[in-house]
């Protein structure tokens, strides 16, 4: 049996639909929001439902053989993983957004609120813009409104949340989709099973 870790939230729904198309009987994954482990002995698959940021370490250290997670998580923290497949789901952008009328001022450091401190810092460093990073875990769009930050770096799928909070996209840092990541040892020890799952997902991916 191989163990697949999937990020909870919107990505779980899209990944579950892909797995169903690929022939895996995962209806209960889509229906039961509280259960964290699902086992399917008939098809040799166990699924773990965990936080997106926990998927790379779960896979890297072998608690899961492979995982499905957004590229934003992989950009933010480097892990020693194979990344064999872009599933084309969970499409969004990692963007810099700010209130209308905002402009960069090179004479003072920019205060940036984000869930992605490393990615944000590196982005502004490349532009030669000094950045003071404020790490947040949620409600990032609120930060410029209440004066906590000048700009935010966050994910945007449709831009609607930004518009509702009177924020405008200034730059796209990266286009984001969900990727399959694989533990390096598992790829050798369970090569046939893992390659089989990846091949099925490849046929039905978007």
Question: What pTM value is reported for the model?
Answer: 0.90
Question: Residue 86: which H helix or E strand, with range?
Answer: strand 82-86
How many CB atoms within 10 Å of residue 77?
Answer: 12
pLDDT surpasses 90 at 8: no
pLDDT digits (tens, 9 = 90+) for 109-145: 899 999 999 999 999 999 888 999 999 998 999 999 9
Architecture of the domain delimited by 92-176:
3-Layer(aba) Sandwich (3.40)
Checking if the pLDDT of 107 tops 80, the result is no
138 CB burial (10 A radius; 0-12, 13-18, 19+): exposed
Q: Sketch the domain layout of the chain as residue ranges.
A: 2-90+177-204, 92-176
Percent of the residues in the chain that have a pLDDT greater than 90, as a whole number: 81
Each residue of 81-104: b (16+ CB within 10 Å) or e? bbebbebebbebbbbbbbeeebeb
Predicted confidence at residue 9, as pLDDT, reads 85
Fold adopted by 2-90+177-204: D-Maltodextrin-Binding Protein; domain 2 (3.40.190)
């Amino acid at each position: 049996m191989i163990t697949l870790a999937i990020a909870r939230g919107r990505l779980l729904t899209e990944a579950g639909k892909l797995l169903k198309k690929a022939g895996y009987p995962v209806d209960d994954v889509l229906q039961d929001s509280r259960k964290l482990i699902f086992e399917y002995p008939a098809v040799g698959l166990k699924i773990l439902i965990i936080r997106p940021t926990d998927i790379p370490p779960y896979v890297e250290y072998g608690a899961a053989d492979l995982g499905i997670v957004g590229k934003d998580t992989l950009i933010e923290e480097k892990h020693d993983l194979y990344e064999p497949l872009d599933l084309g789901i969970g499409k969004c952008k990692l963007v810099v957004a700010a209130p209308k009328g905002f402009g960069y001022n090179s004479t003072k450091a920019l205060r940036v609120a984000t869930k992605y401190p490393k990615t944000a810092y590196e982005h502004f460093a490349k532009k030669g813009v000094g950045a003071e990073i404020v790490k947040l875990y949620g409600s990032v769009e609120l930060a410029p409104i209440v004066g906590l930050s000048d700009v935010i770096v966050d994910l945007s799928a449709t831009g609607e949340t930004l518009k509702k909070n009177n924020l405008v996209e200034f730059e796209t840092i990266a286009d984001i989709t969900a990727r399959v990541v694989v533990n390096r040892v598992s790829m050798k020890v369970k090569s046939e099973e893992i390659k089989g799952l990846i091949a099925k997902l490849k046929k039905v991916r978007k």
